[in-house]
Amino acid sequence: MLHAEVYYNFGELPVFPTSGRMVSNSRILEVLDKGKAATVTTIIETRDRDSGEFLYSSQSTQFIRKVGGFGGKRVGIGK
């Protein structure tokens, strides 16, 4: 497995909080069949635990060798 890319979105807060309680939820955005490999893209969204206010999200893609060829989509969302 190879870490392929990562993106961060810090929302529109004027100042990022330096303390507090956060909760993060993750989900799989897509799995792509690259022939001899696959890519798996996940999104993690983090919010303030008490207010529910959006703090930031991260999206990362992993390139996984030797697991492709399962007949899935080859091109991702927005491409």
Residue 6 sits in a domain whose CATH number is: 3.10.129.10
In a domain, 43, yes or no: yes
In a domain, 77, yes or no: no
Q: Model pTM greater than 0.85?
A: no
Task: Show the domain range for 32.
Answer: 2-65
How confident is the model over 25-63, as pLDDT tens digits?
A: 999 999 999 999 999 999 999 999 999 999 999 999 999
18-45 as b/e: b if 16+ CB within 10 A: eeeeeeeeeeeeebbbeeebbbbbebeb
How many domains does the chain contain in total?
Answer: 1
The DSSP symbol for 49 reads T
